[in-house]
Structure 1
Amino acid sequence: MFCHHYLMEFAIQIDADYLVARLKALLAIPSPTGFTDETVRYTARELQRLGLEVVLTRRGAIRARRPGNARRPARGIVSHLDTLGAQVKLLKPNGRLELVSIGHWSARFAEGARVSVFSSKGTYRGSILPLKASGHTYNEEVDTQPTGWPHVEMRVDALARDRDDLVQLGIDVGDIVAVDPAPEFLDNGFIVSRHLDDKAGVATMLAALEAMQRLDVQTQVDTYWIFTIGEEVGVGASAALVADIASLVAVDNGTTAPGQNSSEFGVTLAMADQTGPFDYHLSKKLFELCGEHDIPVQKDVFRFYRSDAASAIEAGHDVRTALLAFGVDASHGYERIHLNALISIARLLVHYAASEVQIERDATETAEGLKGFTHQKMSQAEQDLTPDED
């Protein structure tokens, strides 16, 4: 077995083939928010195969416990199984389907997508098209029509000439529409696909666990590996935590757009999102672990972004939170990442789980007085004004 002190000098080897295989399998399972049962089943079985104790909530969020030497202060690591998608809003007189988005993504990226609609009578294939799709008919209007969900429709690849035909097919308002991921795994390490947010995060967590089990890595405290089913609609980790968890690290996508500091390589450590700063001490620890183990890292701030960590805090969980991101180009669109970032995050997760507990006071939800309470960086003059009374 490998203890923390050995890991300090040991380069964790992540099985890249395992990680890629898990990502391919996850991408092949449709899982828009509200339609996640099968991806939950796949992930839960893999966690059981890796030897973890698996608990499911009523709706399917997964909480897998890997025992450590002590129960508290337990650590949580979280990603989400649900993806973006769409839902039938209306059966139109022309035999097509009006859609609304599941999660927040632009209809600009929906145009031309191949999709499946899940009806009471079976699954039908189709395409999402702009209302004016033929240049031979509409000429320049194809390019000048507005962009948005009211301006696209699903063409069903079945006999669907009018609304009555759609009814005969068993299609109804509210049916879930899954968008094909269309993945490509390139020899140079780049991965291009829809829904890398956050199936790449799930695969990264599984790869970290596989390494820990293979190397028999021992931890000071329990770690909970959590997989949520409603992050894309904002609920995420609101109901998946237990009281023992004192720190929660989310694994999700970053953004490599202009004006951001994220990268498709290494770890992107988010310092804040639209809900505010992440925990000072937890983020500092993760950054320092990268330095200790030669893991490339950069920091970023996201203004229009939230993750499972935000939903946990908003639900009233008093946990320290941090966010590890893999840089994504064209997030919530046709996304691109690099395997280097996923392997870097997986390595960091192993070192984090195996690291020593620095804030022992976190073992209890509340404690009297200041004994063991944390400090933040201050000048000597400021420290003199707030003497340590431990």
Structure 2
Amino acid sequence: MKHLINDLETLLNIKSPTGHSGLAVDFVETRFKELGLATRRTNKGALIATLEGENTSEEYTLSAHVDTLGCQVKEITADGMLKLTQIGGYAWTTIEGEHVSIETMDGTFYSGTIITIVASSHVHGGKTNSTERNEATLRVRIDQRVSNAKDVQKLGINVGDFVHLDPRTVVTDSGFIKSRHLDDKACIVSLFGMAEYFVNNNVKPSHTTNFFISNYEEVGHGASAAIPEKTVEFIAVDMAAPGSGQTSDEFSVTICAKDSSGPYDYELKKRLVKLAKDNNINYKIDIYPFYGSDGSAALRAGHDIRVGLIGPGVDASHSFERTHIEAIEATVNLGIAYLK
């Protein structure tokens, strides 16, 4: 598992917000090619890596998404700060105080910090605590000598430029991984582990298997197109959501029964549960009340496929995320058992 966690650390530090994930896709493609898998890109920029199986007439496809939450410049203010627009869905409160990198179109990066318009309690008193955090009250303070919009524009910063959140990745001695963007990069490396098993043991999966790396999941249409046409079963590999009222935890793989888009395939869920039991894999069954996956996108787009959803438990999703190596390992093992 150590090399997979090393891959995860590398991937977490590659900037890949939805709409600008090319470098991360490049990294993932290189990794799959090193394993000998055939790869191709879709017109939308997604990656498909294929591992030949015993059955070549019907295929299985497993997806994970490489795109992450982020921000773009919405407005340059008169006092030389940046208003933001969100990429993906998250609470504004979860990015206050975050260090960011502002990327101009010519590839220059400037550092900054997200703060409120009433950041100093010595100046604003109780307003620092009581002011709602939203798109109107949060700004990026740029680490350059700027005092007006023209100063900012001279740096090459413009509306639409990407503002990358610092992932702040830490792997602890106790096996926890703390970082932004574990959704869904922890599952990307889980796919690496599944593919490695078959390559390293020189065995074929039961069906030709496609690893579909989507790049627009966070905005809802990641796997809506280009799913390989022979696909009969589709497993979205995406983070589970522990929390109050949930069964998921940070040490198991979760088999999702239902999310906001509705129930997942019942027979496929039963098969996954049996595989977990038969192989002594730590697993949970859960329902996610505010959630959608690449599987949801595929079904809404009209694909005639059976869809399931599995993944490692990630605490504080779309916030200050954390998971454990054991959850990633359990996800890898369930994927291998499913593909055998």
TM-score by length of 1: 0.85
TM-score by length of 2: 0.98
Deviation at 1:220, TM superposition (A): 2.5
Q: Does 1:217 align with 2:217?
A: no
Task: State the partner residue of 1:230.
Answer: 216
The residue matched to 2:93 in structure 1 has which SS? coil
Deviation at 1:18, TM superposition (A): 1.6
* Superposition pairs of residues 1-390 of structure 1, within 5 angstroms: 16-121=1-106, 122-354=108-340
Q: Deviations over 1:106-158 (max 9, x none)?
A: 11011010111111341111111111111121122110111222210001111
Q: Deviations over 1:9-39 (max 9, x none)?
A: xxxxxxx112101101101100000110100
- 1:317 counterpart letter in structure 2: H
| CA distance in 2 between partners of 1:96 and 1:37 (Å) | 28
Q: Unpaired segments of 5 or more residues in structure 1?
A: 1-15, 355-390
- Does the 8 Å CA contact 2:39/2:47 hold for their aligned counterparts? yes
Q: Unpaired segments of 5 or more residues in structure 2?
A: none
- 1:27 counterpart letter in structure 2: L
Task: State the partner residue of 1:11.
Answer: none
Q: Deviations over 1:32-70 (max 9, x none)?
A: 001101001111111111110001012320111100122
| CA distance in 2 between partners of 1:167 and 1:148 (Å) | 24
- Does the 8 Å CA contact 1:237/1:311 hold for their aligned counterparts? yes
- Does the 8 Å CA contact 1:226/1:240 hold for their aligned counterparts? no
Q: How many residues are paired up?
A: 339
- 1:117 counterpart letter in structure 2: I
- 1:319 counterpart letter in structure 2: I
- 2:310 counterpart letter in structure 1: L
The residue matched to 2:333 in structure 1 has which SS? helix
- Does the 8 Å CA contact 2:102/2:110 hold for their aligned counterparts? yes
- 1:85 counterpart letter in structure 2: G
Deviation at 1:328, TM superposition (A): 1.5
| CA distance in 2 between partners of 1:59 and 1:267 (Å) | 30
RMSD: 1.0
Q: Percent identity?
A: 36
The residue matched to 1:20 in structure 2 has which SS? helix
| CA distance in 1 between partners of 2:72 and 2:321 (Å) | 21
- 2:73 counterpart letter in structure 1: V
Deviation at 1:218, TM superposition (A): 1.6
Deviation at 1:255, TM superposition (A): 1.3
The residue matched to 1:349 in structure 2 has which SS? helix
- Does the 8 Å CA contact 1:191/1:339 hold for their aligned counterparts? yes
